[in-house]
Amino acid sequence: MSKNYNIDKVKFVAAIGVVLIHVFAFIDSAYNEPLIELQWPRAIFNYAVPLFFAITGYILSSRTNEYMLKYAGSVLRLFISISLFYYVVSLLMAGLEAWLYEEPVMDAVMIIFRSKTWRQFAQGTIGSYHLWYLWASFLGISCLYGLNKIINSPRILIVSVFALYLVSLYCLQNGLLTDILRYGGFPKALMYTSIGYYVGVQGDYWKYNWRVLIGWIFVYVVTFGFFYQGEYIELLFIPVIYLVITFFNRYKGEETVIAKLGDYSDQIYLLHALGINVYGLLLFVFPKLQIHSLPIRVVLITVGATVFSLLVYIPLNRFYLEPMQQWLKKLRFKFNDNSKPNNKIDLTQSTSNS
């Protein structure tokens, strides 16, 4: 399979979409402005994480089932490593903030320490809220591996996964299992990963008029923005994500600057939350950093968090993430495979070798 430049482009755009979602939430809390209530941009950016899951499934469709399990183990090691990093950083930032407010430092640190619960572990948010994606991805890929072992038909597999997803949406809509399924959890990861996997295995190609895709997107955005924001709105995601992946399966695209930036989407996803938190802390120390223009504020915080992620990732990966993942691999998380994958994990799989 040749390199798919369109996937690289969308990976970068999706990563920026995730950053924007969290920038909106930060502005909502730090500036007391209800930007998060603007449903139009929210509706558009909500496509980001499902696209990440689907692209992962699409690339895994060209690999063996054993590789899928090996990759799940790599995601798990990355999740443990980065969660531990964020956990330590949260303790340090809590102590620093207490010191700046002239409050007892140890009390602030202990509050963070005691706030960690089994619910956060089950959600995958024990390190940071955005890391649920890694935990859900690990569980989703592992479930897909198991289903591949017992279900030979891709159609039966996708129908089975859809049935499970409907059950999870029903639970969330009715307030059941919310401690485990917050943000959608592994059923969401399994659903969209399976869509990408199904398109790759079946060889489904784009054979639709553009108006079909645009129509589905329009229906979702209008519905989310004006009529309904419950859990079942997710059902409108499925045909859109399917259509987008079939488009990738037919049109590989050409190499562009944005396609090259797609290689950095994982670094942006992993560390942008830290960049936003650091900016929030700097606002307290240096009040003059306040940005009064809302559009400029959104753009500058987004660009700042993105650049921060890229700069911090290089030393963090060299001196902590790679050694930690190697140690975890030797310690516990080994799979019966003689090949040794690169520890630099691409959350949506690199397309250069696909």
Q: Which of 3-12, 112-121, 247-256 has the lowest mean pLDDT?
A: 112-121
What's residue 240's pLDDT? Answer: 87
Distance CA 6, CA 248 (A): 6
What's residue 185's pLDDT? Answer: 86
Task: State the average pLDDT for the chain.
Answer: 84
Task: Read off the pLDDT of each residue in 315-330 and give the average, rounded to a whole number.
Answer: 92
Burial class, 98, CB count within 10 angstroms (exposed 0-12 / middle 13-18 / buried 19+): middle
What's residue 24's pLDDT? Answer: 84
* Spatial CA neighbour of 15 closest among 313, 316, 309: 309
Q: Are 31 and 37 in contact (CB under 8 A)?
A: no
pLDDT tens, residue by residue, 285-296 = 887 777 777 788
CA dist 32 → 24, 25, 28, 48, 220 (Å): 11, 10, 5, 25, 28
Q: Predicted confidence band at 350 (pLDDT cuts at 50, 70, 90)? A: very low
- DSSP letters for 49-107: HHHHHHHHHHHHTTS-HHHHHHHHHHHHHHHHHHHHHHHHHHHHHHHHHHHHTT--HHH
Q: Is 161 helix (H, G, I), strand (E, B) or coil?
A: helix
pLDDT tens, residue by residue, 146-196 = 999 898 888 899 999 999 999 999 888 888 887 778 788 899 999 999 999
pLDDT over 90 at 321, yes or no: yes
% of the chain residues with pLDDT over 90: 38
Task: Read off the pLDDT of each residue in 92-119 and give the average, rounded to a whole number.
Answer: 80
Distance CA 159, CA 241 (A): 16
Task: Read off the pLDDT of each residue in 230-255 and give the average, rounded to a whole number.
Answer: 85
pLDDT over 80 at 308, yes or no: yes
Which has more pLDDT, 45 or 76?
Answer: 76
Please count the CA atoms within 13 angstroms of the CA of 87 that sit on its side-chain side.
Answer: 18
Please count the CA atoms within 13 angstroms of the CA of 116 that sit on its side-chain side.
Answer: 17
pLDDT over 90 at 41, yes or no: no
What's residue 349's pLDDT? Answer: 52
Helices (H), the chain: 5-30, 39-45, 48-60, 65-100, 105-115, 118-123, 132-150, 154-173, 178-181, 185-202, 210-222, 237-250, 257-261, 265-285, 294-316, 322-331
Distance CA 209, CA 321 (A): 45
Task: Read off the pLDDT of each residue in 215-244 and give the average, rounded to a whole number.
Answer: 81
Distance CA 201, CA 248 (A): 14
pLDDT over 60 at 37, yes or no: no
Please count the CA atoms within 13 angstroms of the CA of 321 that sit on its side-chain side.
Answer: 22
pLDDT over 50 at 268, yes or no: yes
Task: Read off the pLDDT of each residue in 247-264 and give the average, rounded to a whole number.
Answer: 87
Q: Are 14 and 51 in contact (CB under 8 A)?
A: yes
Which has more pLDDT, 332 or 259?
Answer: 259
For the beta carbon of residue 306, count every other beta carbon within 10 angstroms: 21
pLDDT tens, residue by residue, 45-57 = 888 899 999 999 9
Q: Predicted confidence band at 247 (pLDDT cuts at 50, 70, 90)? A: confident
pLDDT over 70 at 277, yes or no: yes
pLDDT over 50 at 341, yes or no: no
Residue found by looking up tokens 């050409």 in the block = 254
